[in-house]
Chains A and B, each alone.
Chain A
Amino acid sequence: DTAVSQTPKYLVTQMGNDKSIKCEQNLGHDTMYWYKQDSKKFLKIMFSYNNKELIINETVPNRFSPKSPDKAHLNLHINSLELGDSAVYFCASSSRGTGLGLNEQFFGPGTRLTVL
């Protein structure tokens, strides 16, 4: 009964390929996020969806396209992979609670992407 799950856990691919990472949460949350953690462990938000609507889109190359088919899923598709895309990608979810958005985010285990 994993709360936030991601597949695959590891992804090794060649430059120029297209790949997808899937995320699912069974917590009943209405907001989901994608974060990127680089080799120096620095974490930065990429996207956020609230009730399937894109609400945060940071300065991310348009090769990255998130898709949320429903509130429980947020997938990340990456086109034309580059060496610099190698990182660990974390999915997270939260609920709005009282509407102030102050509830904590729950993170998935991460997907380690290696681009060769």
Chain B
Amino acid sequence: AQSVAQPEDQVNVAEGNPLTVKCTYSVSGNPYLFWYVQYPNRGLQFLLKYITGDNLVKGSYGFEAEFNKSQTSFHLKKPSALVSDSALYFCAVREGSGGYNKLIFGAGTRLAVHP
């Protein structure tokens, strides 16, 4: 079975500093990886995905993620954090194929950006 792990419950960063939210994966076959963000009392919003191709994936709101096959990681990054980036971030991996697929989510990492 596919799985992802987010080793940090919370990440604290000062506004303007770079941020990293970590994710490692365990899959059989090719990994199809996603990052979502959840703002308070809201649904999840898609940030970016890795399917194939370049290891550096660019997404919404200035976020990017680096796929590292040797380390089985897919860390989310942003060069300069904003207070408005404070939210709950989920890494996910697709399990299944075709229309018979589902997302397996990590436990989430709360990002707190301080002014």
Chain B residues whose CB sits within 8 angstroms of the CB of A31 once the complex forms: 99
With an 8 Å Cβ cutoff, the count of chain A residues facing the other chain is: 29
Chain A residues whose CB sits within 8 angstroms of the CB of B108 once the complex forms: 41-43
With A42-B107, A43-B90, A104-B34 known as contacts, the answer to whether A55 contacts B44 (CB < 8 A) is: no
Give the distance in Å from the alpha carbon of A42 to the alpha carbon of B5 in the complex: 12
Chain B residues whose CB sits within 8 angstroms of the CB of A105 once the complex forms: 46, 103
Q: Kindly state whether residue B22 has any CB partner on chain A within 8 Å.
A: no
Chain A residues whose CB sits within 8 angstroms of the CB of B102 once the complex forms: 33, 45, 48, 56
Q: Which of B92-115 contact A (CB under 8 A)?
A: 94, 96-105, 107-108
Asked whether A107 lies within 8 Å of B99 as measured between CB atoms, the reply is: no
Give the distance in Å from the alpha carbon of A96 to the alpha carbon of B94 in the complex: 13
- What distance in Å separates the Cβ of A30 from its nearest Cβ neighbour in chain B? 7
With A41-B107, A42-B108 known as contacts, the answer to whether A107 contacts B43 (CB < 8 A) is: yes
Chain A residues whose CB sits within 8 angstroms of the CB of B104 once the complex forms: 45
Chain A residues whose CB sits within 8 angstroms of the CB of B101 once the complex forms: 101
Which among A42, A45, A51 is the interface contact of B103 at CB below 8 angstroms?
A: A45
Give the distance in Å from the alpha carbon of A30 to the alpha carbon of B103 in the complex: 16
Chain B residues whose CB sits within 8 angstroms of the CB of A60 once the complex forms: none
Give the distance in Å from the alpha carbon of A25 to the alpha carbon of B113 in the complex: 33
* Most chain B CB inside 10 Å of its own CB: which residue of A30, A40, A101, A108: A101
What is the total of A-B residue contacts with beta carbons within 8 Å? Answer: 66
Chain B residues whose CB sits within 8 angstroms of the CB of A51 once the complex forms: 99
Asked whether B105 lies within 8 Å of A30 as measured between CB atoms, the reply is: no
The residue on A at minimum CB distance from B32 is: A102
- What distance in Å separates the Cβ of B67 from its nearest Cβ neighbour in chain A? 14
* Most chain B CB inside 10 Å of its own CB: which residue of A100, A104, A109, A110: A104
Chain B residues whose CB sits within 8 angstroms of the CB of A55 once the complex forms: 99-100
- What distance in Å separates the Cβ of A73 from its nearest Cβ neighbour in chain B? 17
A interface footprint on B6-47 (CB within 8 Å = 1, 0 otherwise): 000000000000000000000000001010101001111110
